[in-house]
Amino acid sequence: MTSPAATTLRLFDTATRALHDFTPLHPGHVSIYLCGATVQGEPHIGHVRSGVAFDVLRRWLLAHDYDVAFIRNVTDIEDKVLTKSAAAGRPWWEWAMTYERAFDGAYDALGVLPPSYEPRASGEIPKMVELMQRLIDNGHAYASEGNVYFNVRSYPDYGKLSGHKLDDVHQGESAGAGKRDQRDFTLWKATKPGEPSWETPWGPGRPGWHLECSAMAETYLGAEFDIHCGGLDLVFPHHENEIAQAKAAGSPFARLWLHNGWVTMGGEKMSKSLGNVLSVPNVLKRVRPQELRFYLGSAHYRSMLEYSDNALEVAAKSYQGIESFVLRVVERAGAVPVGKWTNAFADALDDDLGVPKALAEVHAVVRNGNKALESGDTAGAVEAAAQVRGMLAILGVDPLDEHWARDEADATAAHDALDVLVRAELDRRQQARKDKDWTIADEVRDRLSTAGIEVTDTPNGPEWSLKSGR
């Protein structure tokens, strides 16, 4: 591997509520853990926003020649999975796998790079048992009536990540048999009829949600690693409890904590319980995958993204405008390489992944490239398009990426057929203009415009493109 290129990346750490210069624990290597899906049902666009947001982080690090270990877990043992599978009369493992595949399909559709490894909670029970034993031995956990609980009062730093005061803590879980303090949280749940269970020194049962991620992160990234990512809704209690478990067991754990904002509707977090769900498959009936990814990734990752049909349409049109420029250059020059990003683009991403400013730079380069096209400066247009490709590749939406070509075969065939018809009309218009028959020339132009086809006269002859939104 080559030495990482210089970068001045700064990231906002939730734990310290401040920006920090990013220096990896091990030179040339970056370790990242992302809390993945609880595979209880169909993925909606709120679920996959974290995947898109932190895929940009990963791509930016890879572009600087870092070796990135990216772990994204699957929570397949959890109350909601068991409740829904039981209500449907299906085995829990079948239910979980059905929706694990659905999430994998959604991530893949949006061009999210697959993780370095994707552990399932159900496959990591021995590590969880070992972690609980360390906590009990250190005086931070206790077993009672087949359950194992974390003693929150035994850990003085509890609440630092979220800002919660100990007296105000509510774990949001049932009372639990033998719990000494309602602020304590469950590490292990004693077996119940009809539920899956595993043997432990404290009796059969299944893991608590928080225990799973601490064990999996440590197993695959080590006792200390660079970055822990997840949605803002996970700060408390999930990530707060992860920190408590890991550090109380003697592990330094994550050095930085990054959290993405929610996708909201009417100001409320998108969730199944609110009934305001937009599943990924349904949204992809309205826009292309690269347009949905562009929309989800266009806001700053820490900001809330208020969903509306209009906002989705505006984002799609914005992407189409960038894509149209690149395709016009390809049509003119024959090929466009993936170029290097601009300094302004790099500065934006180095500032806590400032995608909005980065996109402003993309649009600025597109404007200059369009001017080059209009003036007949093909070399300048190619240079601009190459820069655009380089920048969009970091954002995961390069229009010429082979990933999108899988879904574009039918569209390409349709475009080619349309091109034959439009070219015939343009030839007719050109002849009319040559004959100074302005009536026929205007009729052709107006008919094409009504059909949603935009004609641009260039020094090399007329070019056409579909109007934005078509």
Residue % of the chain over a pLDDT of 90: 79
179, part of any domain: yes
Rounded to an integer, the average pLDDT of 277-306 is 95
Mean pLDDT lowest among 280-294, 309-323, 445-459: 445-459
Q: What is the pLDDT of residue 467?
A: 62
Q: What is the pLDDT of residue 415?
A: 57
Alpha-helix runs per DSSP H in 175-308: 209-221, 240-248, 280-283, 289-298
Residue tagged 């020059």 (tokens)? 333
Among 206, 237, 260, which residue terminates a domain? 260
201/434 Cα distance (integer angstroms): 91
Question: What is the tens place of the pLDDT at every residue in 182-226?
Answer: 999 999 999 999 999 999 999 999 999 999 999 999 999 999 999
Rounded to an integer, the average pLDDT of 361-366 is 98
430, part of any domain: yes
Q: What is the pLDDT of residue 406?
A: 63
Burial class (CB in 10 A: 0-12, 13-18, 19+), 361: buried
pLDDT tier at 325 (50, 70, 90 boundaries)?
very high
Spatial neighbors of 132 by CB under 8 A, at least 6 apart, are: 141, 148, 187, 188, 200, 202, 211
Question: What is the tens place of the pLDDT at every residue in 215-258?
Answer: 999 999 999 999 999 999 999 999 999 999 999 999 999 999 99
Question: What is the tens place of the pLDDT at every residue in 117-167?
Answer: 999 999 999 999 999 999 999 999 999 999 999 999 999 999 999 999 988
The dihedral sign for the CA sequence 294, 295, 298, 302: negative
- The answer on pLDDT for 35 being more than 90 is yes
Structurally, the chain folds into a number of domains equal to 2
- The answer on pLDDT for 410 being more than 70 is no
123/450 Cα distance (integer angstroms): 59
For 441, the domain range is 409-470
Overall residue count recorded for the chain in this entry: 470
Rounded to an integer, the average pLDDT of 80-99 is 96
- The answer on pLDDT for 429 being more than 80 is yes
- The answer on pLDDT for 414 being more than 70 is no
34, part of any domain: yes
Q: What is the dihedral of CA 346, 351, 355, 361, to 10 degrees?
A: -40
163/55 Cα distance (integer angstroms): 28
From 72, 67, 31, 65, select the one nearest 51 (Cα to Cα).
72
Q: What is the pLDDT of residue 299?
A: 97
Q: What is the pLDDT of residue 469?
A: 44
| Six token digits for residue 217 | 């992160």
Among 212, 242, 260, which residue terminates a domain? 260
pLDDT tier at 2 (50, 70, 90 boundaries)?
low
60-63-64 Cα angle (round to 5)? 95
pLDDT tier at 275 (50, 70, 90 boundaries)?
low
Among 238, 260, 282, which residue terminates a domain? 260
Task: Give the single-character DSSP code of 262.
Answer: P
Query: What CATH code is carried by the domain that includes residue 218?
Result: 3.40.50.620
- The answer on pLDDT for 381 being more than 90 is yes
Q: What is the pLDDT of residue 1?
A: 46
pLDDT tier at 407 (50, 70, 90 boundaries)?
low
373, part of any domain: no
344, part of any domain: no
* Mean pLDDT rounded to a whole number for the chain: 92
70, part of any domain: yes
| Strands of 261-315, DSSP E | 263-265, 268-269, 305-306
221, part of any domain: yes
42/102 Cα distance (integer angstroms): 6
pLDDT tier at 3 (50, 70, 90 boundaries)?
low
Beta pairing class for 67-72 and 147-150: unpaired
Q: What is the pLDDT of residue 451?
A: 79
What phi and psi values does residue 37 have, to the nearest 5 degrees? -80, 145
Rounded to an integer, the average pLDDT of 22-35 is 97
From 103, 43, 44, 38, select the one nearest 77 (Cα to Cα).
38
Q: In sequence order, what are the beta bridge partners of 189?
A: 206
- The answer on pLDDT for 266 being more than 90 is no
pTM of the model: 0.85
